[in-house]
C-alpha cells in the first residue's frame, strides 16, 4: 500500500508529534486527533485529496507557540518547514510537499495566509471548528487559565455595553473571535457543522447568565 494511503503514515506522525511537545494544553495531541478526524470527514464530503489533507492535518501544529508569543504569526510557516523535513525523512511522495506546506501555513489565524486549494481550506476549517462547540469552550478556558485571565467582567459579563477585550476576560473571546468563525469557514460541510457548534456555545452563555 502506498505510504500516503496507509496507517503507517499516521503511526509515523504520532511518534513524531509525541517528541515535539506543545505550547499549551489546548494544542496537545488530543487537539491534533480531533482536527485529523474532522479533516478526513470534510475531505470525503468535499472531494479533496486525502494524500494532502491527512499529513497536513496531522502536522499543522508541529511547531506551536503560545498565544502571547511575539513570533506567534510565524508558527505555521515554521510548522510547514518542519513538517516537510519530517515527510522527507519518511520518504513521503515529494509531489505533495508544496500542497501540504501551503495547507499548514494557511491554517493559522495569526499567519493571515489565504488558503488557495481545497485541501488547505479543509485543514483550516477543521482546525477552526475545534475552537467551537463544547470542546471550543473547554479550550478557551484552558488558554485563558494559563494566561491568568478572569472568566468575565463583573460590570458587563456579556459585552452588552462595551467592546470585547479578550486580553482581559475569557468570555470576551467568544465575542471578539469565536462567534465570527462560522462566517470565515470555506466549505459548506464545515459551515453546517459550525452552526451546530455555535448554538452549543450560545446555550452555554445563556446558562452562565442564569448562574451569575
Asked if 114 and 22 sit in the same domain, the reply is yes
Q: How confident is the model at residue 150 (pLDDT cuts 50, 70, 90)?
A: very high
Residues 139 and 116 in one domain: no
Q: Where does the pLDDT of residue 108 fall: very low under 50, low under 70, confident under 90, or very high at 90 and above? A: confident
Q: Kindly state whether residues 116 and 136 are assigned to the same domain.
A: no
What was the pLDDT predicted at 75?
78
Lowest mean pLDDT among 67-76, 87-96, 156-165: 67-76
Report the pLDDT value the prediction gives residue 200, as an integer from 0 to 100: 97
Question: What average pLDDT is seen over the chain?
Answer: 89
pLDDT at 65 over 90: no
Res. 131: pLDDT tops 60: yes
Q: pLDDT band at 179, cuts 50/70/90?
A: very high
The last residue of a domain, from among 93, 126, 159: 126
CATH number for the domain harbouring residue 1: 1.10.3210.50
Are 20 and 116 within one domain? yes
List the CATH number of the domain containing 158: 1.20.58.1910
Question: Do 153 and 113 have their domain in common?
Answer: no
Instruction: Name the domain count of the chain.
Output: 2
Task: Give the highest mean pLDDT range of 5-19, 56-70, 175-189.
Answer: 175-189
Domain boundaries, position 147: 131-212
Q: How would DSSP label each residue in 113-132?
A: ----SHHHHHHHHHHHHTTS
Mean pLDDT of all residues in 167-175: 95
Q: Which of 110, 126, 142 is the last residue of a domain?
A: 126
Q: Does 119 lie in the same domain as 79?
A: yes
Q: Same structural domain for residues 100 and 136?
A: no
- 5 and 43 within one domain: yes
User: Could you say which DSSP state residue 148 is in?
Assistant: T
Rounded to 10°, the helix 97-106/75-89 angle is: 150
The reported pLDDT for the residue numbered 18 is 82
Which pLDDT score is estimated for 188? Answer: 96
Q: Does residue 139 share a domain with residue 120?
A: no
- Read off the pLDDT of each residue in 111-130 and give the average, rounded to a whole number: 92
Give the domain-ending residue among 98, 126, 154. 126
pLDDT at residue 1, as a whole number: 46
Is 23's pLDDT higher than 60? no
Amino acid at each position: 500500500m502506498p505510504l500516503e494511503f496507509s496507517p503507517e503514515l499516521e503511526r509515523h506522525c504520532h511518534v513524531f508529534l509525541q517528541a515535539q511537545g506543545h505550547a499549551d494544553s489546548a494544542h496537545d495531541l488530543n487537539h491534533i486527533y480531533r482536527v485529523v478526524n474532522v479533516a478526513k470527514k470534510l475531505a470525503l464530503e468535499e472531494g479533496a485529496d486525502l494524500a494532502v489533507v491527512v499529513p497536513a492535518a496531522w502536522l499543522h501544529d508541529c511547531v506551536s507557540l503560545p498565544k502571547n508569543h511575539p513570533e506567534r504569526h510565524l508558527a505555521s510557516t515554521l510548522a510547514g518547514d518542519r513538517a516537510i523535513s519530517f515527510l522527507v525523512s519518511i520518504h513521503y511522495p515529494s509531489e505533495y510537499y508544496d500542497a501540504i506546506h501551503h495547507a499548514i501555513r494557511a491554517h493559522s489565524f495569526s499567519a493571515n495566509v489565504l488558503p488557495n486549494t481545497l485541501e488547505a481550506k479543509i485543514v483550516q476549517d477543521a482546525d477552526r471548528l475545534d475552537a467551537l462547540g463544547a470542546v471550543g469552550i473547554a479550550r478557551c478556558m484552558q488558554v485563558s487559565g494559563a494566561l491568568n485571565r478572569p472568566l468575565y467582567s463583573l460590570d458587563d459579563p456579556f459585552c452588552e455595553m462595551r467592546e470585547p477585550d479578550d486580553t482581559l476576560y475569557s468570555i470576551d473571546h467568544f465575542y471578539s473571535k469565536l462567534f465570527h468563525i462560522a462566517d470565515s469557514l470555506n466549505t459548506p460541510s464545515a459551515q453546517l457543522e459550525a452552526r451546530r457548534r455555535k448554538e452549543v456555545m450560545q446555550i452555554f452563555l445563556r446558562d452562565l447568565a442564569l448562574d451569575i
